[in-house]
């Protein structure tokens, strides 16, 4: 750790002592590195732009991350810019490097600002780094309702309003551990947040047991249904085993009998099913009841 701190300190000292580069000198160094792989040229080019790295890194110091770490990440972006820079184009290296330095620092902030990974899309990144600024600007112009502020920010950044609301909620508070203590218990210990996260779903062994029982009951019922004749089976299926359940009137019309006759046939079929189940599985039924 001490060695890493020394490296960072040396980068800062070197940045303050490095001279500014004129356009022609900057291009000459870039050409030497691009085409001759001159390490000394790369060193001079990077060292002379460390002040730029430090200036950009300072803009992100309010995200709760150490400034030396931000500077180190910006230096990584600076070296990436040097590797990709085309000196033959009419662009200053400092202009080109600014984008890579900022991108490297932003990626570092997004990776380390929270233990929950966020800001993976371009919309989310834009929101993360601009939401506070836009919200503060709106506040300076007077009281604005939250919904109106969200709508205006969404329009300004060209993102869905729902994304603005979600990001605002994320930025409203820090990460909280589920194992953080809440209050001491009577036994001298302390309750944790995780203790209050209740899952109403059954345990895995209960789920498996219920699935097995359901399959077994379906097999029992299918076996008992073989005791019914064709008309009784039709009545039971349409009255008891379908989602909607046929009415006595509809079945009476379909079978060409009265409603009372359908009711009698249904009662007889259910009794036959009960007796068949009791006979085949007496251990599962008490007093002849399922």
Q: Phi and psi at residue 115, in whole multiples of 5°?
A: -75, -15
208-284 shares the fold of 1-113 = no
Residue pair 12/45 in contact (Cβ under 8 Å)? The answer is no
Residue pair 1/68 in contact (Cβ under 8 Å)? The answer is no
Please check the confidence at residue 228 and state whether its pLDDT lies above 70: yes
pLDDT for the residue 290: 45
Collapsing DSSP to helix, strand or coil, 65 comes out as coil
Residue pair 133/63 in contact (Cβ under 8 Å)? The answer is no
Q: How confident is the model at residue 289 (pLDDT cuts 50, 70, 90)?
A: very low
Please check the confidence at residue 262 and state whether its pLDDT lies above 70: yes
pLDDT for the residue 288: 44
Q: How confident is the model at residue 175 (pLDDT cuts 50, 70, 90)?
A: low
Residue pair 14/45 in contact (Cβ under 8 Å)? The answer is no
Q: What is the pTM of this model?
A: 0.51
The tens digit of pLDDT for each residue in 8-44 reads 566 566 666 777 788 888 889 888 988 888 899 888 8
Top-confidence residue, 178 or 97: 97
Mean pLDDT, all residues of the chain: 79
- Which CATH number does the domain 1-113 belong to among 2.60.60.20, 1.10.3720.10, 3.40.50.720, 1.20.120.1810? 1.20.120.1810
Top-confidence residue, 44 or 117: 44
pLDDT for the residue 218: 85
pLDDT for the residue 269: 87
Tokens of 148: 């109106």
181: β partners: 192
Please check the confidence at residue 46 and state whether its pLDDT lies above 80: yes
pLDDT for the residue 176: 63
Please check the confidence at residue 212 and state whether its pLDDT lies above 90: no
Tell me the C-alpha to C-alpha distance, in Å, between residue 245 and each of 9, 19, 150, 234. Answer: 80, 88, 50, 12
User: How far apart, in whole angstroms, are the C-alpha atoms of residue 238 and residue 226?
Assistant: 16
Place of tokens 């009577």: 186
**Count of residues making up the chain:** 290
pLDDT for the residue 283: 74
Residue pair 222/236 in contact (Cβ under 8 Å)? The answer is no
User: How far apart, in whole angstroms, are the C-alpha atoms of residue 113 and residue 70?
Assistant: 12
Tell me the C-alpha to C-alpha distance, in Å, between residue 210 and each of 95, 194, 215. Answer: 66, 27, 9
Fold for domain 208-284? Arc Repressor Mutant, subunit A (1.10.10)
3-state helix, strand, coil in the chain (%, to 5): 70, 5, 25
Given phi > 0 = left and psi -120 to 50 = alpha, else beta, which region is 245? left
Query: Over pLDDT 90: what percentage of the chain?
Result: 10
Among 55, 27, 60, 54, which residue's Cα sits nearest to residue 41?
A: 27
User: How far apart, in whole angstroms, are the C-alpha atoms of residue 82 and residue 46?
Assistant: 8
In the chain, domain spans: 1-113, 117-172, 208-284
The tens digit of pLDDT for each residue in 65-96 reads 888 899 989 999 999 999 999 988 888 998 99
- The HSE-up count of residue 208 (CA atoms within 13 Å, CB side) is 3
């Amino acid at each position: 750790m001490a060695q890493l701190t020394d490296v960072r300190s040396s980068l800062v000292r070197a940045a303050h002592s490095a001279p500014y580069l004129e356009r022609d000198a900057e291009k000459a160094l870039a050409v030497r590195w691009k085409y001759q792989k001159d390490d000394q040229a790369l060193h001079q080019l990077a060292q002379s732009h460390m002040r730029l790295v430090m200036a950009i890194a300072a803009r992100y110091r309010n995200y709760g991350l150490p400034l030396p770490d931000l500077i180190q990440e910006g230096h990584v972006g600076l070296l990436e810019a040097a590797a990709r820079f085309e000196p033959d184009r009419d662009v200053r290296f400092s202009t080109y490097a600014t984008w890579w330095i900022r991108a490297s620092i932003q990626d570092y902030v997004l990776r380390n600002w929270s233990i929950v990974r966020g800001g993976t899309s371009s919309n989310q990144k834009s929101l993360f780094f601009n939401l506070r600024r836009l919200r503060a600007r709106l506040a300076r112009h007077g009281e604005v309702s939250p919904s109106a502020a969200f709508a205006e920010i969404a329009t300004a950044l060209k993102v869905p309003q729902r994304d603005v609301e979600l990001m605002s909620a994320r930025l409203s508070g820090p990460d909280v551990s589920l194992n953080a203590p809440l209050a001491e218990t009577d036994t001298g210990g302390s309750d944790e947040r995780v203790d209050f996260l209740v899952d109403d779903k059954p345990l895995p062994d209960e789920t498996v047991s219920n699935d097995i029982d359901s399959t077994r009951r379906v097999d029992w019922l299918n076996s008992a249904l073989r005791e019914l004749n064709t008309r009784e089976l039709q009545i039971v299926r349409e009255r008891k085993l379908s989602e909607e359940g046929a009415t006595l009137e509809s079945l009476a019309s379909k079978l060409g009998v009265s409603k009372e006759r359908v009711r009698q046939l249904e009662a007889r079929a259910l009794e036959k099913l009960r007796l068949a189940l009791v006979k085949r599985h007496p251990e599962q039924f008490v007093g002849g009841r399922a």
